[in-house]
């Protein structure tokens, strides 16, 4: 259980096509004449090496006369996913109940620019992504977040390792979360799901890679896949319903996996910890 005054729930978000309704790597191309890259440059984009590809893109943008202020303007103008602003405002009002963080294979400059422009930067305790900064040769330099041995994730960043290291760090600080909530869309967002326990919830964007990978994992290793799954589409809403009691992560018996075709109560009664919590439910516009 979390110490008195410590956050009870950890809420993690991806950035591209989760917080914002577009891919920031594609959006910055709007800064060049014709708003497209050379075919020879696009052809160098290899799966698992997106960070290296983006370094080449920034170098190309620099040669085209693009400046950091031009990039910042693009990031600041990126639209939040419909309903995401309301969601983040709601979470912010809950005070110390939640600890919120971003885990994304994008870059810190872009995400921080967007969050400051939308007024949500202070909500995120940590933004874990590839470091970025100025360089004499290119518009913006990117540095890999870390090295790892995961075959599922890009060479520069494994989201499973990022979250695992973060949970270990917070445990060292005396913070033990009762529930984890993980919101994302991509294949690398699927990777941390091995860390989610029976009282935790995964929110994959419907029909995106993370959502498609979940039933495959449930079929291959049903006993090791314990988290509840609540898919969402383009309109994400967070509802405060009747107060419920959240089941603690430690010692929680695994929930039966589901395919996310219905709305779900993601909290269960916990007689050992009778303090009020929230019933979370992510639903699509049609379900509302």
Contacts of 170 (CB under 8 A, 6+ apart): 10, 99, 176, 177
Residue 187, classified by CB atoms within 10 Å of its CB into exposed (0-12), middle (13-18) or buried (19+), is middle
CA distances from 226 to 4, 158, 161, 201, 252 (A): 27, 21, 19, 9, 10
Residues designated catalytic: 14, 16
Go through 32-60 and write b for each residue having 16 or more CB atoms within 10 A of its CB, e for each that does not.
Answer: beeeebeeeeeeeeeeeebbbbbbebbbb
- Asked whether residue 14 is marked as a ligand-binding residue, the answer is yes
- Asked whether residue 16 is marked as a ligand-binding residue, the answer is yes
- Asked whether residue 173 is marked as a ligand-binding residue, the answer is no
Q: Which residue has the tokens 């967070």?
A: 238
- Residue 28 CA to residue 151 CA, distance in Å, equals 28
Residue 269 burial (CB count, 10 A): 10
- Please calculate the CA angle 248-125-160 and round it to the nearest 5 degrees: 60
Distance of CA 26 to the CA centre of its chain: 18
Residue 25 burial (CB count, 10 A): 17
Which residues define the annotated binding site?
14, 16, 185
Which residues define the annotated binding site for Mg(2+)?
14, 16, 185
């Amino acid at each position: 259980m979390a110490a008195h005054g410590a956050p009870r729930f950890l809420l993690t978000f991806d950035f591209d096509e989760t917080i914002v309704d577009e891919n920031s790597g594609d959006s910055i191309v709007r800064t060049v004449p014709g708003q497209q890259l050379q075919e020879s440059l696009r052809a160098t984009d290899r799966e698992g090496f997106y960070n290296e590809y983006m370094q080449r893109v920034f170098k190309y943008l620099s040669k085209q006369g693009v400046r950091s202020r031009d990039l910042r303007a693009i990031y600041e103008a990126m639209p939040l996913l419909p309903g995401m602003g309301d969601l983040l405002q709601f979470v912010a009002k809950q005070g110390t109940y939640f600890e919120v963080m971003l885990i994304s294979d994008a870059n810190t400059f872009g995400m921080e620019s967007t969050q400051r422009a939308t007024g949500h930067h202070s909500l995120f305790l940590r933004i874990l992504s590839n470091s970025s900064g100025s360089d004499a040769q290119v518009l913006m330099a990117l540095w890999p977040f870390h090295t790892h041995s995961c075959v599922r994730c890009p060479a520069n960043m494994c989201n499973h390792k990022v979250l695992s290291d973060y949970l270990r760090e917070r445990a060292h600080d005396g913070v033990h979360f009762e529930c984890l909530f993980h919101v994302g869309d991509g294949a690398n967002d699927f990777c941390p799901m091995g860390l989610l326990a029976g009282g935790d919830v995964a929110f994959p964007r419907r029909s995106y890679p993370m959502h498609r990978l979940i039933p495959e994992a449930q079929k291959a290793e049903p006993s090791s896949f314990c988290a509840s799954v609540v898919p969402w589409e383009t309109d994400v809403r967070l509802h405060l319903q009747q107060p419920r009691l959240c089941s603690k992560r430690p010692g929680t018996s695994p929930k039966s996996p589901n395919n996310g075709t219905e709305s779900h109560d993601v909290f269960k009664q916990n007689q050992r910890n009778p303090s009020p919590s929230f019933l979370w439910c992510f639903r699509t516009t049609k379900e509302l």
